[in-house]
Amino acid sequence: MKDSRLETFLARIYVDQTARERFLADPRGEATKAGLTAQQVEDVVKIDRDGLELLAASLERKKHNRR
Amino acid sequence: MNPFDFTGPQFLLFYIIFAGLVLSGLAFWRRRAELSPSTPRIDLSDPYLIAFLRGGEKEVLRVATVTLIDRGLLVRDGPQIKRAEDASPDSVRRPIERALLNKYARAGKVSWMFEDDGLSKACEQYAVTLQRARLIPDDYVYRARLVRLIIATFLLTGVGFTKVMIAIEAGRTNVGFLIVLIIASLVIAAAVSFPRLTESGREMIEDVQSLYRGLRNRASSMNAGGASPTNAGGAGVEPMMLAAVFGMGALAGSGSSYAEGLFRGHDKRRSNSCATDGDCGSSCSSSSSSSCSASSSSCSSGSSCGGGGCGGCGG
Amino acid sequence: MAVRDRFGLGWRAKLALGILSNLDRIDIVEVIADDYFRASHRERRALRTLAAQTPVTLHGVSLGMASSVPVDTKRLDQIARLCDEVEPVSWSEHLAFVRGGGIEIGHLAAPPRSAATVSGAIANLRRAREIVGVSPQMENVATLIDPPGSDRDEATWVSQIIRDSESDLLLDLHNLHANSVNFNFDPIDYISHIPPEQISAIHLAGGKWIGRPNARRLLDDHLHDVPGPVYQLLEDVGARATPPLTVILERDGNFPPVEWLLEQLDLARRAVARGRARRSAAAA
């Protein structure tokens, strides 16, 4: 359950711009609110922000191409 | 309840239902018998073979003519066509192309090609190949069809004319409509029994149209010229294959859009992509991009219509 | 059963004529399975006709096998039905997660590399084997982000799943190359982690650099030619992996003439041949 929460959290910040912006503004707060474990919170606080930005842009492009 | 005791209108209704069942059974029986247990293997890259499958000899001639015109080996001269000055039959590989260049060494009407025995002979190889693959009927299939038709005829005429005789013996002469129904059902039985393709052939042309539906979507970007008989599958071959698979009408909007008009009126058969003696079960919509089963996969970006790929595996 | 290495292309509608015109140079074709899950009976039958002309392998993109969440059995049923109809020589999927909490990511994302996703992937592979009847080859994915929540490196994570599930790896060499340059690890070391007899298929593709000058990443977009380092990796795999290998060149757009793609396939053949020669020399 705890592991699936992390995947859910990641899915949300990957595809949802609002969720991602809230996370980037307060990573610890958002991760804690999402019910992640202490270790998971620490891991996402240190998230690869460049990669996150690029991934989100890539996913947005793909979504646009599909339409 | 004996149907032969029915009144006239009752028996007409009964006969319509009876004939419907016989004809449905006939069609079902033929389709089942002519479906190969395994999928046949033919050269799906040979536009002339595909054209023959879709529309017979005349389609091969149409596709070959347009191909040769696009390559500059035949030229249009008003309502006629003729071999280009610097063209030689030796410059082409395929017998049908060579035969066309020979036929039109001097200017001639387009319609002549449909009456020429030499051109007909050049198409024979395609018939042989497709018969071997059981996609068009051979003698064995024709005999089987005839047997089924005879059985259906026996049933349809037996039941129908028995009632006619009973009616006449009872002094009734208003049997005309029943006779018309009997004749109509026999005509339909013949049509149902002898389509140009076997059931496997009908399915094969549908499958080919499905596999090549990407060509239809690109028709407007295809240029005339450069159409080559080589097997490279490159850009030059695309108009040929488009015409072979979908008919001259599919070339509208392409660089070979003159094609449909070239044959209009010269041959009584429609050059519509679905003109296959009424057995075109494919329906052109199966090859339109709008009917593609757009994937609902979350991950196949741009892959509506079976083939956009996964757009990069991750990242 | 194939005993020689096979080389093929991904089936794309735009490449249909090029592929069907060159079956003498193409040993196998890979079809995206998800494009046919909701296809009409006719379109699925057409796939069967394709499979009669050339061997076909099915490639799924939406199961999300490498997740701590059990894979949806309805989706496995879909692939099972398609496999029954088409009778492919194999099928494959990805070591990725594609959804979470009802949110569809829309692409193949690298999951956290943890014990949970290892055991989740192994359980999902077992389920897939039960329902479909045969295990899929599992493909490593490219990622632009180092997934948070990871407690082991990618080579360790992939090899654990492959070894413990007894499934084969579909080693995407451009994904490996991209990840190795993006996250600074040695791809040869990665390959050495995988049991050679469990590498049964290879994907080749190309990509491009994206991002700001100080934060560039190599994106695997399938829109570019296969770069040189990937052919070098292919040779190395050829030297290690037990035959036969199935090598698929993936191209999803920006299509060059088909002859160009066939030449890339020939480069792949030569790379594998060089690798096999090294393997034979080493064994002698």
Chain B residues whose beta carbon lies within 8 Å of the beta carbon of residue C23:
45
Q: Taking 70 as the threshold, does the pLDDT of residue B271 lie above it?
A: no
Q: Between A58 and B235, where is the model more confident?
A: A58
In which residue are the tokens 């090598």 written? C247
What percent of chain C has pLDDT above 70?
99
Rounded-to-integer distance, Cα B164 and Cα C75, Å = 60
Rounded-to-integer distance, Cα B224 and Cα B117, Å = 29
User: Mean pLDDT in chain A?
Assistant: 93
Q: Taking 70 as the threshold, does the pLDDT of residue C96 lie above it?
A: yes
Q: Residue A62 and residue B302: Cβ atoms within 8 Å?
A: yes
* Mean pLDDT in residue range C77-81: 97
Host H or E run for residue B83: strand B80-83
Task: Decide: B244 and B51 in contact? Cβ < 8 Å.
Answer: yes
Closest CA to B55 of B114, B141, B133: B114
Chain C residues whose beta carbon lies within 8 Å of the beta carbon of residue B133:
none
Nearest-CA distance C147 → chain A (Å): 8
* AA letter at B46: D
State the burial class of residue B21 (Cβ atoms within 10 Å of its Cβ: 0-12, 13-18, 19+): exposed
Q: Residue B210 and residue C43: Cβ atoms within 8 Å?
A: yes
pLDDT at res. B289: 36
Task: Decide: C51 and C87 in contact? Cβ < 8 Å.
Answer: yes
* Mean pLDDT in residue range C234-257: 96
Q: Residue A55 and residue B311: Cβ atoms within 8 Å?
A: no
What percent of chain C has pLDDT above 90?
95
What percent of chain B has pLDDT above 90?
57
Q: Taking 70 as the threshold, does the pLDDT of residue C5 lie above it?
A: yes
Nearest-CA distance B68 → chain C (Å): 20
pLDDT at res. A11: 96
Chain B residue closest to C39 (CA)?
A: B293
Chain A residue closest to B308 (CA)?
A: A66
Q: Taking 70 as the threshold, does the pLDDT of residue B122 lie above it?
A: yes
Q: Residue A59 and residue C107: Cβ atoms within 8 Å?
A: yes
What are residue C69's phi and psi, to 5 degrees? -90, 135
Chain C contact present for B283, CB below 8 A = no
What are residue B158's phi and psi, to 5 degrees? -55, -50
Cβ burial B279-291 (10 Å sphere, 16+ → b, else e): bbbbebebbeeeb
Domain boundaries, chain A: 2-66
Chain B residues whose beta carbon lies within 8 Å of the beta carbon of residue A63:
301
Q: Residue C217 and residue A59: Cβ atoms within 8 Å?
A: no
Q: Residue C38 and residue B300: Cβ atoms within 8 Å?
A: no
Chain B, window 32-61: residues with a beta carbon less than 8 angstroms from a chain C beta carbon:
38-41, 44-45
Closest Cβ–Cβ partner in C35, C49, C51 for B300: C35
pLDDT at res. B304: 32
Nearest-CA distance A58 → chain C (Å): 9
Chain C contact present for B207, CB below 8 A = yes
Rounded-to-integer distance, Cα A27 and Cα A42, Å = 9
Ordered structural domains, chain C, with CATH = 6-283 (3.20.20.150)
Rounded-to-integer distance, Cα B310 and Cα C221, Å = 9
* Mean pLDDT in residue range B23-29: 97
Q: A20: which residues sit within 8 A by CB, 6+ positions away?
A: A13, A14, A52, A56
Nearest-CA distance A12 → chain C (Å): 7
Query: What is the number of other CB atoms lying within 10 angstroms of the CB of residue B38?
Result: 8
pLDDT at res. B78: 81
pLDDT confidence band for C19 (50 / 70 / 90): very high
Nearest-CA distance A58 → chain B (Å): 7
DSSP reduced 3-state for C122: helix
> Mutate which of C144, C182, C221 to disrupt the A interface (most A C-beta within 10 Å)?
C144
Task: Decide: B186 and B157 in contact? Cβ < 8 Å.
Answer: yes
* Mean pLDDT in residue range B83-104: 91
Taking CB atoms and an 8 Å cut-off, how many pairs form between chains A and B? 12
Chain A residues whose beta carbon lies within 8 Å of the beta carbon of residue C67:
4, 7
pLDDT confidence band for B310 (50 / 70 / 90): low
Q: Residue C143 and residue B297: Cβ atoms within 8 Å?
A: no
User: Mean pLDDT in chain C?
Assistant: 96
pLDDT at res. C266: 98
Q: Taking 60 as the threshold, does the pLDDT of residue B45 lie above it?
A: yes
| Region of poorest pLDDT, from B157-161, B235-239, C17-21 | B235-239
Closest Cβ–Cβ partner in C106, C143, C250 for B299: C106
Chain C residue closest to B315 (CA)?
A: C143
pLDDT confidence band for B23 (50 / 70 / 90): very high
Rounded-to-integer distance, Cα B216 and Cα B232, Å = 19
Give chains near B: 3+ CB pairs under 8 A: A, C
Closest CA to B148 of B26, B277, B14, B303: B26
* Mean pLDDT in residue range A44-67: 90
Chain C contact present for A15, CB below 8 A = yes
Chain A residues whose beta carbon lies within 8 Å of the beta carbon of residue C99:
11
Nearest-CA distance C256 → chain A (Å): 20
Taking CB atoms and an 8 Å cut-off, how many pairs form between chains B and C? 211
Structure tokens at A34: 């999402």
What are residue C242's phi and psi, to 5 degrees? -70, 135
Nearest-CA distance C146 → chain A (Å): 6
Task: Decide: B208 and B301 in contact? Cβ < 8 Å.
Answer: no
Q: B94: which residues sit within 8 A by CB, 6+ positions away?
A: B48, B64, B229
Let me know how long chain A is. 67
Chain C contact present for A28, CB below 8 A = no
pLDDT digits (tens, 9 = 90+) for C160-189: 999 999 899 999 999 999 999 999 999 999
Chain B residue closest to C9 (CA)?
A: B309
pLDDT at res. B256: 78
Q: Taking 50 as the threshold, does the pLDDT of residue B285 lie above it?
A: no
Q: Residue C69 and residue A7: Cβ atoms within 8 Å?
A: yes
Q: Residue A3 and residue C112: Cβ atoms within 8 Å?
A: yes
Chain C residues whose beta carbon lies within 8 Å of the beta carbon of residue B238:
17
pLDDT at res. A7: 96
Q: Taking 60 as the threshold, does the pLDDT of residue B188 lie above it?
A: yes
Q: Between B21 and B289, where is the model more confident?
A: B21
pLDDT digits (tens, 9 = 90+) for C124-151: 999 999 999 999 999 999 999 999 999 9
